[in-house]
Amino acid sequence: MNTFTKKVMSVGEMASGAKLTVPVYSFVSENASGPNVYIQANMHGAEVQGNAVIFQLLELLQHCRLNANITLVPYANPVACNHKNGEYTLGRFDPITGVNWNRMYHFDESVIEPFSQNYIDATEEDINNDFRALMLNEIEQKLDHNIFGLTTGQRIAYQLQRLAYQADIVLDLHTGPISSKHLYCPEYAQASANYFDIPHTLLIPNDFDGAMDEATFCPWWSLQQAFEKQGRKFTMGQGLFNKESFTVELGSQEQIDLDVAKDDAVSILAYLHYKGVISNDEYQPQAMTRYACYLNDYKALYSPMGGMVDYLAEFGEVLAAGEPLARILRMDNYGDGEALHYVSLDKPVIPILHFASASVNQGTELYKVFYNYFELPES
């Protein structure tokens, strides 16, 4: 029998004194032998499809046989999802500091080496428990003992991170502007990408750059590397170091589709079945060709001129060299110049997302594409 609970977590206060709150849903398994899971959505204000996916997960998980505890947090950033300007949601950056909401998480790599030296001969259980306690203490110190205070974004991020640090698997649900589905996957966890029903995977370095996925896998990766330097070898993604974190890009912002969200929830459950979190054998990944590229080869194409853009390239399909991604309309040139300008590349690419508006300035990011892509080998 699984226990389901809901609580409301306060993550800050408005100028009026009104509380900023976040709902937290938890399934606690009576047989918690598998890796625990944390899933959040809507850290960026316009990226709302993840809330629909969490709804569908809540519905489906009530009928699953759980081998682990699962925590789900929709509306993770109440400031961002309420940051409207007319009919648009602007909540990608903290409006006070200008910092990306998803670049405020904490990881201090200086704590890794001393810990590995002190625990070089410790049991795996002690390493797991005490390192997790160290990571949680780092966050508690940031939240409760910072004499100079925290920004709004840091306070929200650290409280979410405190929840995430109690899990072994972390999924951060996002969307793009106008986008196909794709997965940000740490390089060491490449094999796991085959268990999501997502055809495009970005393999990211095992380094910290401020995002939630990095904040939750990088400490364990760094610890594994530190142990290895001292002659004690662990394999990341297995045993003690069975820790994985992903940013799951669910399509386009500013809209939800509950039917597609159910497909996305089923995709996540297929991955969770592979990891031993659930025992329901009906959740299996779909057979599909999955493409990947390394983060350095995920290229942004910037507009060579201002104008009105007709986006031509289909998402997820290989676009041959020389084929146009877009055409730009310049009505100011009509009658005495070229009104249409085509934009193409000299190498095959896979378009993944494009700018949300047809109206662009010179230098606007038009598309992001997989440049040196390859097929993911089957696991």
Indicate if 186 and 324 belong to the same structural domain: no
Indicate if 118 and 249 belong to the same structural domain: yes
pLDDT in tens, 192-202: 999 999 999 99
Number of H helices, E strands in the chain: 7, 20
pTM for the model stands at: 0.96
pLDDT in tens, 336-376: 999 999 999 999 999 999 999 999 999 999 999 999 999 99
The full length of the chain comes to 379
The count of domains in the chain is 2
Indicate if 133 and 205 belong to the same structural domain: yes
Q: Range of 144's domain? A: 3-289
CA 79/CA 63 separation, integer angstroms: 33
Indicate if 266 and 183 belong to the same structural domain: yes
Is 378 domain-assigned?
no
Indicate if 229 and 324 belong to the same structural domain: no
Indicate if 271 and 306 belong to the same structural domain: no
pLDDT of residue 129: 96
Compute the mean pLDDT over every residue in the chain, rounded to the nearest whole number: 96
Task: Give the domain CATH number at 276.
Answer: 3.40.630.10
Indicate if 77 and 179 belong to the same structural domain: yes
Contacts 24+ apart (CB under 8 A), 148-151: 151/94, 151/96, 151/97, 151/99, 151/104
Instruction: Give, rounded to a whole angstrom, the gap between the first and last alpha carbons of the chain.
Output: 33
pLDDT in tens, 51-70: 999 999 999 999 999 999 99
Strand order in the sheet with 244-252: 3-13, 19-28, 70-73, 37-41, 169-176, 244-252, 181-186, 200-204, 291-294, 374-375
Is 203 domain-assigned?
yes
Check whether 379 has a pLDDT greater than 80.
Answer: no
Is 74 domain-assigned?
yes
DSSP conformation letters of 123-177: -HHHHHHHHHHHHHHHHHHHHHS-TT---HHHHHHHHHHHHHTT-SEEEEEEEES
Indicate if 270 and 334 belong to the same structural domain: no
Is 379 domain-assigned?
no
Indicate if 187 and 326 belong to the same structural domain: no
Domain final position from 289, 319, 349:
289
Q: Would the CA dihedral through 234, 237, 242, 245 be positive or negative?
A: positive
Task: Give the domain CATH number at 304.
Answer: 2.40.50.100
Indicate if 113 and 186 belong to the same structural domain: yes
Is 134 domain-assigned?
yes
